Amino acid sequence: MANTIHVDVVSVEEQIYAGEAEFVVLPGVDGELGIYPRHTPLFTQIKPGAVRIKPPGNVPDEFVFVQGGFLEIQPNKVTVLADTAIRANDLDEAMVLEAKRRAEEAMTNKDAAGGIAAAQAELAAALAQLEAIRKFRHRAG
């Protein structure tokens, strides 16, 4: 069996993500957490931002937005109790397309952006920013 960790992201409204992952990045209150399988038990709060889940195999990463919540890590399991989590796909489509376009631009232009990792990081950042904008607009409107 591949070396994976089970990831559950749930909010009061719904189960947002459930599945295996090779690697998970979460926005902890004390900084970004990168979790690999067989991590030591950890309990923390997370702040608003994007959770990046890398499923096993050659598939694109999954992004989930959380507005804070609790995070429990057991060696074979990551559980995120999100206050409100939104799947990246649910975001305003135009904004997501825009973000994707920008990220793809950066990915094709590898030299300028400094490799795929940087491009992916930029994609995550762009998405998180969009989320912030959306929240802001929500509050203003």
Partner 1 sequence: MAGSKEIRNKIKSVQSTRKITKAMEMVAASKMKKAQDRMRASRPYMEKVFNIVMHIAKANTEYRHPFLVRREKVRRVGAIVVTTDKGLCGGLNTNVLRTVLQSHKDWQARGIETDYVAIGNKGLGFLQRMGGNVVASAVQLGDRPRLDRLVGPVKTLIDEYVAGNLDEVHVFYTTFINTMKQEPRQGRIVPIPHQFRTATGEMRKADIGDGTWDYIYEPDARDLLDGMMRRYLEGAVFQMVNENMASEQSARMVAMKAASDNAGKIISELQLIYNKSRQAAITKELSEIVGGAAAV
70 in contact with partner 1 (CB under 8 A): yes
Q: Please identify, among the stretches 49-57, 68-76, 101-109, 127-135, the one whose residues bind partner 1 according to the rule CB under 8 A.
A: 68-76
Distance (Å, rounded) from C-alpha 63 to C-alpha 90?
11
Q: What is the DSSP letter of 31?
A: E
Q: 3 near 37, Cβ under 8 Å? A: yes
Least distance from partner 1 to the Cβ atom of residue 141, Å: 23
Cα 137 to chain centroid, rounded: 22
Cβ proximity to partner 1, 1 vs 140, nearer residue: 1
Residue 49 per-residue DSSP state: E
- C-alpha separations of 13 from 30, 83, 86 in Å: 26, 9, 10
Does 12 sit near partner 1 (CB under 8 A)? yes
Written as six digits, the tokens of 98 are: 């825009």
Neighbouring-strand partners of residue 134 = none
Site for partner 1 in 28-47 (CB under 8 A): 28-30, 40-45
Task: List the one residue from 20, 22, 61, 72 that touches partner 1 (CB under 8 A).
Answer: 72
Cβ-based nearer residue to partner 1, 30 or 93: 30
Comparing CA positions, the residue from 63, 52, 65, 59 lying closest to residue 23 is 52
Q: Pick one of 24, 50, 81, 124: the residue that binds partner 1 (CB under 8 A).
A: 81
Question: Taking the complex as a whole, how short is the minimal distance between the CB of residue 46 and partner 1, in angstroms?
Answer: 10
For binding to partner 1 (CB under 8 A), which residues are involved? 8, 10-15, 18, 28-30, 40-45, 70, 72, 74, 79, 81
